[in-house]
Amino acid sequence: MTETLATALEREHHEIDEGLAAFRSDGEAARLRDAVSALRRHVYLEEVLVFPSLRQAGMMAPVFVMLREHGEMWQVLDRLDVSVDRADLEQLCGELEPLLQAHNGKEEPILYPQVDAVLDEDQSAALRSFLATGSTPAGWVCEQASGGGLRNLPFS
């Protein structure tokens, strides 16, 4: 049986959480860098491959909340990218983890159950392909990375 898209997206959440927890446990910076990279990739796939269809299906308000939260997390990710001090990395993980927990706690029960129903066959295939092999394009930043506006919303 093929894994649902909702399940695949949730699995990515868990993998990211596990990567952060592993860093907190063993201090291996590589684990943290992998988790940060995975989170950036996950935000990309949501904003580019999932959220447009959810917006069109009438879920504008929940998507907006997720975009705002992505922007908050992105700021922490940017700080993690430049920090080399172990204590700073620990502190930044301490900032990121509750943001992720709150975000995932809304996204998983509200948006993810709609994904399999809302995405058409081509969109589903594109998402499955990206989940399998995709990566974040160089230089891409999330919609609200600077806490800024609604650049990609259809009415902006």
Q: Which class for 85: exposed (0-12), middle (13-18), buried (19 or more C-beta within 10 A)? A: exposed
Q: What average pLDDT does this structure show over 133-138?
A: 94
pLDDT at 28: 85
Task: Give the pLDDT of residue 155.
Answer: 36
pTM, whole model, 2 decimals? Answer: 0.91
Instruction: Render pLDDT for 84-128 as a digit per residue (tens, 0 to 9).
Output: 888 999 999 999 999 999 999 999 999 999 999 999 999 999 999
Q: Tell me which residue has tokens 């943001």.
A: 99
Q: Is the pLDDT of residue 68 over 50?
A: yes
The domain that holds 17 is classified in CATH as 1.20.120.520
* pLDDT at residue number 145: 86
Q: What is the pLDDT of residue 156?
A: 33
Pair 18, 25: CB distance under 8 Å = no
Is residue 140, in this structure, part of any structural domain at all? Answer: no
* Boundaries of domain holding 60: 5-133
Number of domains in the chain: 1
Residue 67 pLDDT: 97
Model confidence at 1, in pLDDT bands (50, 70, 90)? Answer: low
Residue 51 lies in a domain: yes
Would 156 be classed as within a structural domain?
A: no
